[in-house]
Structure formats: structure tokens, C-alpha cells
Amino acid sequence: MPDLSSALHLAAPELTLAIGALFLLVIGAFAGARSAWAISIASVVLLIAASALAVTGPLGQAFHGAYVADPLAVYGKVVIYLASAVAIVLGAGWMSRTRIAQFEYPILIVLAAVGMSMMASSGDLISLYVGIELHSLALYVLAAFHRDNLKASEAGLKYFVLGALSSGLLLYGASLIYGFTGSMRFEDIAAVAAQGDVGPGLIFGLVFLVCGLAFKVSAAPFHMWTPDVYEGAPTPVVALFATAPKMAAMVLIIRTLDGAFGGIHDQWAQVLVLISLISFAVGAFAGLAQKDLQRLLAYSSIINIGYALLGVTAGTAIGIQATLMFMTLYVIDQFGFFALLLSLSKGGKPIRRIADLAGLKKDRPVTAIAITVLSLSLLGMPPFAGFWAKFYVFGAAAEAGYWMVGAAGLVASVVSAFYYLRIIKLMWFDAPLDDVKTDPAPFEAKWIAFACAAFSFPLVIVGLTWLEPLTRAAAAGFGAG
């Protein structure tokens, strides 16, 4: 067991973010709203520094196994920190233009990143819960950040109430698991699960735990909060919700199920298969009726989480690698879409309805091309990034014997193609609803969107599948228990 100095060295990324956030909070308390830009820049620097510390830092366990620094945690943290930094960049300019800029926004994201980082490094049920609650409390506030907006306040309240319910499910499951295994540590739980002959009490605990985790990734039928929160929360906050927390929760699911409960894979795989199938149905069919772009992206996220869970369901290192690759590409596509939403407005009012995209090619042809590329990528059209992501996830599921579930995912993908193709058709073939031109795009949103769209081209993505960090992370996740 490492001494305290070694343990603190392992946890350097989280300590850097936590101490830095508290320091920036003191500065903001004295300087007020006028310090929002400076604190945003400092927060981005903090997150980049934490990312560097995670990559270059030592690997091992600390705090009696409650904290784990391994390749899976490192990979997850790098994506989480960089996604959080992009969310700050997108939000700082948007909130300044809408005159609701406050110094708390970047600090809350940094504190949420600390919780998400703890989720990625969880080694027992206590650190799992602490990480989930730390990031959730910050996200509840962010959802209602626009206090004068009724929909934002409603989004924050719904997220908080339903989040408390999911926490109750998760805690009840954790208590059952502790009661029937005698330990909180994933390593000890894995030793019990490896015996194979487990009682119904442990299975019940695991089901409740999976239900609580499914809420965090907005998988159906635990998705009730997602459409309303996506519609009501500020757009840059929704961009954060759609990316970093989902990556953190997926890493935690991998560490918990494929690691701690790998010995009873047949038991929890049935639950994940059911969740994936329901997510396919809800995301594909409910998305067809949506008229608001952010609500549409909410249902898109539900169906995509169903795809990602297929890799975890496979219960193999290849499946974990496919899930991590899928989530990485999903994060990039989502940031591209939300950056484009932030760059589109008419008369100072943001474009939120799908119908308002009609005729966009007329005055914003480059933006129309970027939306087309990202739509085709999310659809899974070859040869874009989304195709390769789905190809490897479905392949891993089929190789593990879940080819019928993969086939159901393909059918859902065909159904969901309608709402992506509808966007493309409106932009390129329909006449504009009015003669008002769109406003000039903000610098940061425009370039983030174009960079994400450029990343969706195949030559860059094919190389990503063989990245050594991805392979090491998958191997660590498969043996996390």
C-alpha cells in the first residue's frame, strides 16, 4: 500500500482541479461577474494541466484501493477534461452575448470534472457514489444556471428530483452488494463473483446498481429527465451534459460490470440487452416527432447510448475498446452539433426549431456542409466516423453472440436516419421560411464546429481504432476487477 505522498501523487489531477477551483472561487467572490472571462481562461488551463498530469502521472492504487489510476482511468480522464474545457470555451462567449455571464459557470464545470474524474478512478462502491454525487450536484446547478428562464429552472428541478431518485436506487443496490459480498472494494467483489454461484440478493443489488448507472447515461427507460433538461438548460450546458458526464458514466459502467462483476457476465448482460433494446426503440421512434433541435439531440443521445452499451454487453476486451472508441467519436460529433447550434441565430435569437434550418445553404453554405457531415456521421453513413464507431460496436456484439441485438440496433439506426436526413433535406432543398439572414457566427463556436466536422472524415478515424492508449484502456477495463 503506497504511503500518503504516493497516494497524493496518484491523485494529482483531481487535487489540481479541486484546489484550483477553490482558489478561483475566492477570486470570483471578490471580483464578481467582471472576472468571468479571466476565470474561464484559468479554468481551461487547469483542465489542460490536469489532462497532462493524468497522462504523465504514475499508475497504481491508493486509499486502500478506493482510487485506481490505470490506463482506463487515464483515457477517460483525458476525454473528460478536454470535453469540459471545450464546454467552458463554448459557454463563455455565449453567456457573455446573452448577458448572463457569471464567474461560477467555469468553476462549476471544473468541480463537475473532479467528480467525473473520481468516477473514472473508482475502485470501490464508496468512491463510485462520491464521484457520481460530486459531479451531479454541480450539473444540477448548471442546468438551472439561467435563473430568469422558466424552462431552465424547470430543467434544473426535474434533473435534481429524478437524480435523487436514481441515487436512491444506486445506494440501495450498493448496500445489497456490500451485504452479500462483505466488501465495498471491486477487487473483493470480483473474487466473490468469480465463484459463479451467487445468490439472488447479490443479483438484486446488481440490478439496482445498473439502474442507477443507466440514469446517468440517460439510457431508456431511465431517460425521463433527458428531453426536458436538454430543451430547457442553456445550450453550452447541454453540450457538456451530452459529452463528458456520459463518457465518465460509461467508464464507470465498464469498471463496475466488466471488472467487478465479470464473473457473472451472463446475469448482468441480460439487463444491459434489455436496456439497449428499449433505448433503440425510444431513441428511434420518439425522435421522429421532435420539432426542437435540442430535444431531437436528446433522443439521439438515448439511441446512441444503447449502441455504446452493446460493447459493454459483449464482456470482452474488444467490446470495451469498441465502446470507448464509440464514446470518443460520439463526444466529438455532439460538440460539433452543439457548436453549430450556438453559431446559428436570426435577429439575435437562437435557431432552435428544426424547421428554421430550411434553406440554410443560401446564406451559410459552409455551415450547411458541416451540419450535413455531422448528421451523416451520427446516422452511421459510411465512410464517416459514426459508421466506424457502429461497425466496431456491432461487430463486438456479434462476435460475443449478441448478433440479434446488433441487428435490432441496425434497424433502429435505419429508423433514426429519417430525422437526420430530414435536417439535410431542409437545409439543401427547402426554401427559407423568411428573408432574414442568419447572424454572423461567433468565432469560437464556428471553429470548434468545423474542427469536429473535419474529424468525422474517414482517414483520421481509421487510424484512431489502432491507437495504443485505446487498446491499453480496454485491457485495463476488462481486468479492472
Q: For residue 434, give the H/E element and its range.
A: none
Centre a 10 Å sphere on the Cβ of residue 29 and count the other Cβ atoms it contains. 11
What would the grid cell of residue 150 be? 422558466
Sign of the CA dihedral with 234 first, then 239, 240, and 241 last: positive
Nearest 5°: the CA angle 32, 34, 35 is 75
The C-alpha atoms of residue 222 and residue 220 are separated, in whole angstroms, by: 5
Q: What gap in Å lies between CA 125 and CA 479, rounded to an integer?
A: 17
Which residue's entry shows cell 466536422? Answer: 453
Which residues does residue 185 pair with via DSSP β-bridges, in sequence order?
124
Q: Could you list the pLDDT tens digit for every one of the 481 residues in the chain? A: 456 778 888 999 999 999 999 999 999 999 887 888 899 999 999 999 999 999 998 899 888 888 999 999 999 999 999 999 999 999 888 888 888 878 899 999 999 999 999 999 999 999 999 999 999 999 999 998 888 888 888 888 889 988 888 899 999 999 999 999 988 999 999 888 888 767 888 999 999 999 999 998 999 888 888 999 999 888 999 999 999 999 999 999 999 998 888 888 888 999 999 999 999 999 999 998 888 999 999 999 999 999 999 999 998 888 999 999 899 989 999 999 999 988 888 777 888 888 888 888 888 888 899 999 999 998 888 888 888 889 889 999 999 999 999 999 999 999 999 989 999 999 998 888 777 677 777 888 889 988 888 887 765 555 555 567 777 887 777 655 4
- Cα distance between residue 293 and residue 302, in whole Å: 14
Closest listed residue to residue 396, CA positions, set 283, 472, 284, 309: 309
Rounded to two decimals, what is the model's pTM? Answer: 0.94
Give the count of beta carbons closer than 10 Å to the beta carbon of residue 400: 20
